[in-house]
Structure 1
Amino acid sequence: MLGSDEFEPDAEQLEETALDEAAAQRLAEVIRTNLDIEPDVFRTNLDILNLDPSTFEFEETSSGFDIDFPTPEYKTSVPDFPVHDNIEVIDGKTIFKTNDWWKGAILASGYNSPDVLVYLWQKNGQSWKRKQKYKVAPDDWADEREIIDALVAQSS
């Protein structure tokens, strides 16, 4: 076995490898999920990945630290939503996502026409489980929206 003073890396191995922001976010999530590391070590990892540590929330919990990942402002491709295999996602947007909750709206191919579906999932171990699903019926949307808008106005 080589000692640390005996190792000489190949110069080609030292070239900078840049990840796009989405790939860096995914790698940070893998690190956070699979390694039991302190927030300062995780912040160092974020710095190495060129991710701004100030955009991540670190919350102390009884089981260590919870780190909330920010929802990206845009998506370049359709995200892999945790929907049933029979549902073909045409497009979708994440409304919000934390370590434990994920809310998204998707456009999926339906029987007669595309359907707009709003989902709320909760993390259960390593997978997401659907807690709520709402199908937006195009014929009813104007009435539903009017009612929802009125209730939202009352709540603020």
Structure 2
Amino acid sequence: MLNNQEKLPISDFYTVLNYQTISRSSRWWSFIVLIKARNKKKIGLYLFQKKNDEWKRKHKFTISSREEYEDIKKVLGNYSKNL
């Protein structure tokens, strides 16, 4: 279930299962999305910039497995202690 009705500016190749906006302004939009492609689920972290009234992708990072997620979570947890 989507957290709002707006269509994400990502490829139609992906089936969007759910997403959460992290931050959004008139020029920048970052969100995390659960997508499905070729019968595989992935988590995508995206950053888009609005140019000429269109959202253009600036950065994309995907997590493809639970193991990869756990590794990233561990490192982020360690680094976040220094914030």
TM range (shorter): 0.7 to 0.9
Residue identity (%): 23
Structure 1 runs of 4+ aligned residues shifted over 6 Å read none
Higher strand fraction (1 or 2): 2
1:76 is displaced (CA, Å) by: 5.1
Question: Residue 102 of structure 1: SS of its match in structure 2?
Answer: strand
Q: Does 1:111 align with 2:28?
A: no
TM-score normalised by L of structure 2: 0.84
In the alignment, residue 30 of structure 2 is paired with which amino acid? K
Instruction: Return closer, same or farther for 1:78/1:114 CA change in 2, 3 Å cut-off.
Output: farther
Provide the residue aligned with 2:73 in structure 1: 145
Question: Residue 80 of structure 1: SS of its match in structure 2?
Answer: coil
Q: Deviations over 1:29-82 (max 9, x none)?
A: xxxxxxxxxxxxxxxxxxxxxxxxxxxxxxxxxxxxxxxxxxxxxx75453110
Provide the residue aligned with 2:47 in structure 1: 120
Provide the residue aligned with 2:19 in structure 1: 92
Question: Residue 40 of structure 2: SS of its match in structure 1?
Answer: coil
How many pairs align?
A: 81
Runs of 5+ consecutive residues of structure 2 not aligned to the other structure:
none
In the alignment, residue 88 of structure 1 is paired with which amino acid? T
In the alignment, residue 148 of structure 1 is paired with which amino acid? L
Q: Structure with the greater relative contact order (CA < 8 A, sep ≥ 6): 1 or 2?
A: 2
Runs of 5+ consecutive residues of structure 1 not aligned to the other structure:
1-74
Distance in 2 between residues matched to 1:111 and 1:132, nearest whole Å? 22
1:130 is displaced (CA, Å) by: 0.5
TM-score normalised by L of structure 1: 0.48
Distance in 1 between residues matched to 2:75 and 2:14, nearest whole Å? 29
CA RMSD of aligned residues (A): 1.7
Instruction: Return closer, same or farther for 1:101/1:131 CA change in 2, 3 Å cut-off.
Output: same
Question: Residue 140 of structure 1: SS of its match in structure 2?
Answer: helix
